[in-house]
Amino acid sequence: MSIQSSRRDIHARAIVFSALLAVIPAIVCAQIDSTTIPQNAQAKRYGIGWECNAGYRASNGVCAAVQVPANAYATDSSYGRGWECDYGYQIDDNACVVVEVPADAHYVESLNGWKCNRGYRAFDDACILIRVPDNGFLTESSYDRSWNCVRGYRPENEACVAIEIPENGYATNASFGRGWECDRGYREVGDACVTIEVPENGYLVEASYGPGWLCERGYQAEGNACIGIDVPEYAHLDYSGNDWDCNRPYRKDRDLCVLP
């Protein structure tokens, strides 16, 4: 293709593009011509068509005024009902009815309803008093009984009964289980707390398993005693301090350290 022919082609395309630019605005204007937009409406800011003004809703091609019921207020939203109920009212069909708050309760806007005051629980459409027994206290839980027992007592039916704590034991805060633990230096055996016998060269540990004691560094547990560790030549106590390892490059061979 010659340069002259190419120029003619470019010129022709420019003419067609210019013609389209002239036609498109006319088409758009025709689509949003004021005669096609109903009263109380406006052309959409984006896209083609129209939308109703605030306070109106589209119905059968026209914009009808939103009917706001008593005890309600109009919203600026372009969708939904176009109104919301006033504080203290809730929607019932197309009306706003007052929320009936029973005695010993308060209105909660986020629930669009009510909640019983502390010390009361909901029962049907009322709030009834929570009966807290002696040695009990109210909890924030809205489930179960809404109360618990103080330390040393456990709930049984509607009462708080004393927990039988053995000698050398103490009450815990747990509302389940036995409700007590043994003092340091004692271990639970059945319903009693018995003394942990710590051997010479041993010490107490806080553990719910094992004998309740460990041997000092340099000693090893054998039965109920702590026996001194006999470290062979070319060896050293390991990281735990209750056994030994061979020095490098020696290897353990029974009770000795030998070269490989």
Model pLDDT, residue 177: 77
Mean local confidence (pLDDT), 212-234: 96
Beta bridge partners of 128: 121
- The distance from CA 14 to its chain's CA centroid, rounded to whole angstroms, is 63
Q: Do residues 109 and 87 touch, judged by C-beta distance below 8 A?
A: yes
Share of the chain above pLDDT 90, in %: 60
Model pLDDT, residue 209: 83
Mean local confidence (pLDDT), 213-225: 96
Q: How far is CA 170 from CA 23, 62, 210, in A?
A: 93, 79, 21
Model pLDDT, residue 163: 94
Model pLDDT, residue 18: 57
Counting beta carbons within 10 angstroms of the beta carbon of residue 193, is it exposed (0 to 12), middle (13 to 18) or buried (19 or more)? buried
Q: How far apart are CA 106 and CA 118, in angstroms?
A: 10
SS3 content of the chain, % helix, strand, coil (to 5): 15, 40, 50
| Number of alpha carbons in the 13 Å side-chain half-sphere of residue 144 | 11
pLDDT digits (tens, 9 = 90+) for 23-76: 444 444 444 444 588 998 888 888 888 888 888 888 888 988 889 999 999 887
pLDDT digits (tens, 9 = 90+) for 97-113: 999 999 999 999 998 89
